[in-house]
């Protein structure tokens, strides 16, 4: 059997802790007497845990002498043109954040872009392979404070690799990234999704772009989903990562 290094064992323990936190928070949210009102607070705590863990993994990476530097910069949006997977919790939390922080006319523009996204998605249109997330505007995320977990943890160390892969469609290009930071975000999502599925709520993971169109059309989407209505039929992500 291969021996796990001390550093790797520490990373694994940190990731296990993240899974437990995400699962516990998702469970407490879904068992709460008023999950609709509770959502912004629960998601904010999870987002802070996610951001803190990612910062800590970045600190550890630099402390070990790793010389890669983050290539991600404000205005760079290659990864916002890829399919983003999120739990319904994250989609509802992002919409709640937008309603709290954006004007009705800004939300209306996001809604229109999300509706276009949904149409292309349902048509299986190949242009979606490089299509911007509905929340993206002028290269900037308009929902930055409420963005899903995976948007928080996917950081590239090589801009050229992003250009090659995402702009030029070179699928053989590998983008170097901080793996524990990425896993933090992925495990947060997967742990929340597992709790949603355990408690028999519909569609534990969905594609963000079209799911936003559904939620932005409804005033009572969260309440309906909490009652078991499958709002995201056809928009579910069935993969495991």
**Residue 99 CB, nearest distance to ligand SF4 (Å)?**
15
Q: Which is nearer to ligand SF4, 5 or 74 (CB)?
A: 74
Selected binder of ligand SF4 within 18, 84, 128, 188 (CB under 6 A): 84
48 vs 54: CA distance, rounded Å: 10
Q: Are 206 and 237 in contact (CB under 8 A)?
A: yes
Q: Looking at 21, 39, 46, 80, which residue binds ligand SF4 (CB under 6 A)? A: 80
110 contributes a contact to ligand SF4 by CB under 6 A: no
- For residues 35 and 209, which CB has a smaller minimum distance to ligand SF4 in the complex? 209
Q: In this complex, which beta carbon is closest to ligand SF4, that of residue 117 or of residue 157?
A: 117
**16: region left, alpha or beta (phi > 0 left; psi from -120 to 50 alpha):** alpha
Q: Quickly count: other Cβ atoms within 10 Å of residue 193's Cβ.
A: 26
Binding mask 128-157 for ligand SF4 (x = CB under 6 A): -----x-xx----x-x---xx--x------
For 162, half-sphere exposure in the C-beta direction (CA atoms, 13 angstrom radius) is: 18
Please, what is the minimum distance in Å from the beta carbon of residue 143 to ligand SF4?
Answer: 5
45/81 with CB nearer ligand SF4: 81
Strand blocks (E) in 26-185: 85-86, 136-137, 140-141
Shortest separation between residue 93's beta carbon and ligand SF4, angstroms: 11
Tell me how far apart the terminal alpha carbons of the chain are, to the nearest angstrom. Answer: 26
**49-78 positions binding ligand SF4, by CB under 6 A:** none
The answer to whether 217 and 94 have CB atoms below 8 angstroms apart is: no
From the CB of 147, what's the least distance to ligand SF4, in Å?
A: 4
Query: Which contiguous run of DSSP H or E holds residue 207?
Result: strand 206-207
Closest distance of CB 3 from ligand SF4, Å: 38
Q: How far apart are CA 19 and CA 188, in angstroms?
A: 6
CA dist 72 → 79, 80, 180, 215 (Å): 10, 12, 17, 29
* Nearest distance from C-beta of residue 31 to ligand SF4, angstroms: 27
Q: How many CA atoms lie within 13 A of 149 on its CB side?
A: 32
Q: Nearer to ligand SF4 by C-beta: 11 or 78? A: 78
Which residue number, 143 or 221, has a Cβ lying nearer to ligand SF4? 143
| Residue numbers at the binding site for ligand SF4 (CB under 6 A) | 80, 84, 133, 135-136, 141, 143, 147-148, 151
């Amino acid at each position: 059997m291969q021996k796990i290094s001390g550093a790797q064992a520490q990373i694994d323990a940190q990731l296990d802790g993240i899974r437990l936190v995400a699962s516990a928070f998702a469970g407490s949210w879904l068992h709460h007497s008023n999950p609709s009102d509770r959502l912004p607070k629960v998601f904010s705590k999870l987002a802070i845990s996610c951001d803190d863990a990612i910062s800590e993994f970045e600190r550890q990476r630099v402390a070990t002498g790793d010389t890669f530097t983050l290539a991600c910069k404000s205005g760079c949006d290659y990864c916002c043109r890829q399919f983003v997977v999120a739990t319904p919790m994250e989609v509802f939390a992002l919409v709640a954040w937008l309603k709290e922080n954006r004007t009705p006319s800004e939300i209306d523009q996001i809604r229109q872009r999300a509706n276009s996204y949904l149409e292309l998605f349902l048509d299986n249109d190949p242009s979606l392979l490089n299509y911007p997330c509905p929340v993206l505007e002028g290269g900037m995320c308009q929902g930055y404070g409420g963005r899903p977990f995976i948007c928080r943890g996917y950081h590239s160390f090589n801009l050229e690799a992003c250009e090659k892969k995402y702009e030029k469609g070179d699928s053989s290009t590998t983008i170097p990234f901080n793996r524990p930071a990425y896993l933090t975000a992925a495990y947060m999502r997967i742990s929340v999704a597992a709790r949603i599925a355990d408690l028999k709520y519909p569609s534990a993971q969905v594609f963000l772009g079209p799911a936003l169109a559904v939620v932005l059309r409804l005033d009572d989407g969260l309440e309906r989903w909490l009652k078991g209505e499958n709002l995201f039929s056809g928009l579910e992500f069935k993969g495991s990562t």
